Chain A
């Protein structure tokens, strides 16, 4: 069963796309991430032009993060004030990111940079998470208390000026690192087509020492707006948002996510983090092989409106 994608300008198997969306939704629901870092490479493996995959991935993440953020909002695990500060940096970063994206596409290095960024970030984040979760799992098996956040322990981040009080997070923190983090994630969102949750969540926990319970909700909140912004800017500058593809992905994705959440709730935190770490590492390794192994075809052709 095929469906023609009007923007990607090719026919795809509708069941493959729905399957991808559901599988990624399942994993994102299980691990509490947006899933953009999985969907974009999957689409590229399935011959969707990278430019379309990135822009459409951002659009799909809007749906999954709205769904997730609403759930956290009801549970009261969303710090809107913190989210807004992150967002200020995020929108600025996304604006710059789109310029970088367009420039890379023109010089023909977009797919390389996307792959490199994925390998570096997914590799680093996956590696750190796996290390951390293995230590936690070991501790848990020895019945030692597991804690991610050590209250009272401060680092250089907490000595910066322009402090602000975030009531929901029970934090008194400088806005500089928050805006910087948002800015960096904003660039990644527009260049990689991801929400950035997989980087934002660990950075908020380990770097800013924000309580884990508000981290996911707050990061989802800001991801909604940054991915929404990215979608609109990609649509107006590169015309690469394929709404048919995005809709198929998000419909299957939100359904898959519900089952993922159920499975996730039966698992322990350390197990979940180890699982997510392995998943992230697997994607990084797959992409790294693609960069290092000699390609079947060293030539590529660019024609028409899309670069790939």
Chain B
């Protein structure tokens, strides 16, 4: 009898956070499991200064209510991904026309993360089924690429998708580290996520997903802003908000530089 009351209370308690989750899109929970994942980063803002050449952020996290036995048999897997702001992308394909290579075909895709850096406890294909990973947009090959507008006969979409992923990877914007998440104690883990030098500015999102024996348990996301700082921010803002003054100043600076050099190096 007493046990029943307790379990009722437990249900009531678990319903409450579930209701709260409806208004919090950053958390997704598989109610079948009691384990919870939580993450934190030392900063919610990455500043791009003039000497920025890429960086690495460390995400700390913990699994609450983890089963000791399962932990020791490595049944828990974690994927941590930093997703950049979404931008529309157009892929163009060059073809040889009259001896020269020109852009002929193009396919536009609905906004995709401008950058994607993922770390996991294991290669993700060993963590869960491709179907489950794809449904949750986990992994470079599972980022949804939905063509917009005219795509012609559609037979080439997959080539264009592959090209988009390939170019994003070769440019360092999409990357993965299949051993980047490490447990530092029984339930505490640390994930290193690399940020390339050409990381887009804007609102990024750190997503952490917990799997248990290949089954989704919980996902938690926290925002991370990537901003230009000081002079860089000022220049960027000026160029966009006061473009006329910015242009005039650029010319003025060039004029002064030219004038000064002709004074300094003047041969009398």
- Residues of A that sit less than 8 Å from B by CB: 1-4, 6-7, 9-11, 59-60, 62-68, 70-71, 108-109, 112, 116, 224, 228, 231-236, 239, 241, 243-244, 246-247, 250-251, 254-255, 257-258, 291-295, 297-304
Contact = CB atoms under 8 A, between A and B. Distances in A.
B101 A295 contact: yes
Given A9-B200, A108-B92, A292-B100, A67 B259 contact: yes
A250 B228 CA distance: 24
A295 B240 CA distance: 34
B167 interface: yes
B262 A71 contact: yes
A235 B246 contact: yes
B146 interface: no
B151 to A, nearest CB: 15
A3 B246 CA distance: 20
B186 interface: no
16 contacts: A3-B51, A6-B239, A10-B198, A11-B53, A59-B250, A62-B251, A108-B106, A109-B103, A232-B247, A236-B247, A247-B257, A254-B261, A294-B96, A298-B95, A303-B89, A303-B90
B84 to A, nearest CB: 10
Interface string B84-104: 000111111111100111110
Nearest to A10: B198
A11 B52 contact: yes
B236 interface: yes
B258 interface: yes
B251 A59 contact: yes
Given A235-B247, A300-B167, A302-B89, A6 B228 contact: yes
B243 A239 contact: yes
Given A9-B200, A247-B257, A292-B100, A303 B87 contact: yes
A250 B96 CA distance: 37
A291 B50 CA distance: 34
Given A235-B239, A303-B90, A250 B248 contact: no
Given A4-B48, A109-B103, A299-B94, A235 B262 contact: no
Contacts of B100: 112, 116, 291-292
Chain A interface mostly: helix
A70 B258 CA distance: 9
Contacts of A293: 101
Interface string B41-80: 0000000111111100000000000000000000000000
B250 A231 contact: yes
Which of A108, A243, A301: most chain B Cβ within 10 A? A301
A254 B257 contact: yes
Given A6-B231, A303-B88, 8 more contacts: A9-B198, A9-B200, A62-B258, A66-B255, A108-B106, A112-B102, A231-B254, A254-B258
B184 interface: no
Contact of A301 (B167, B201, B255, B262): B167
Given A62-B258, A63-B258, A7 B114 contact: no
A298 B101 contact: yes
B216 interface: no
A302 B254 contact: no
B135 interface: no
A302 B254 CA distance: 31
Contact of A243 (B92, B164, B253): B253
A98 B54 CA distance: 34
Contacts of A250: 253-254, 257-258
A109 B265 CA distance: 42
A302 B235 CA distance: 23
A11 B254 contact: no
Nearest to A243: B250
